[in-house]
Amino acid sequence: MKILAFLLALWTFPAMAEMRIGGDALIYDAPNEDYAFNRPSEADVMGNLLRANPNVRRLVLSGSFEITRDAIDVARVVADFGLDTEAQGECSDGCLYILVAGKTRTLAKGALLHLRRIVIPTEVLRAQFEHQKASYGWADEFGQAAFMYDRAQNDLRDALGFLLDHGVSLDFALRVFDTPRQDFWTPTREELVAGGVVDG
């Protein structure tokens, strides 16, 4: 039964799967940049893999997780399964939310966490407009802009609440949200520990 669940999880995931099992770890490289509305939920795929592999205790992260809402959905699965988390190499954007969902959180030697305010890639906005304009009644991009303004406020509130709920300091979180979209803040290990992001 476990093998069947594992195969189903792989079947529902795109051909270029970013999640794989390695011993007691689930290795999660950032999703590829192609955005599609029919793409399976990352959180659902992770849940299926974890149910099929109950020996997994750790999540190893790397890459750029650009869509924060998706990252927070994944982070909730990580917290629910009680996984430890570790960032390796370079990890950015929504990586922060997944990392802090861990029971214990570590940054591998030499790893870097690149942080900035929540961003929405242009190609995602374009794809969303084309895919959803009829169902939302958007005559043009201005209708989408009003919708996105409201949604961005909700996303910011949810993201801030998630960080605070997982022990990240308010000062650290506000520094993240204060970093412009065109820049990255790469905190030192000492700043990450002081900010409640990693354990050491």
CATH no. for 2-194: 3.90.226.10
pTM of the model: 0.81
What is the amino acid identity at position 17? A
Cα four-point dihedral sign 60, 43, 75, 53:
negative
* Domain ranges, ordered by start, for the chain: 2-194
Going residue by residue through the chain, which has 200 residues, state the pLDDT in tens, using 9 for 90 and above: 444 343 333 333 333 348 999 999 999 998 765 555 666 789 999 999 999 999 999 999 999 988 888 899 999 999 999 999 999 999 999 999 999 999 999 999 999 999 998 777 777 777 777 777 777 788 778 777 777 777 777 888 899 999 999 999 999 999 999 998 889 999 999 999 999 999 97
Query: In angstroms, how far is CA 29 from the centroid of its own chain?
Result: 11
Q: What is the pLDDT of residues 24-66, one digit of tens each?
A: 999 999 876 555 566 678 999 999 999 999 999 999 999 998 8
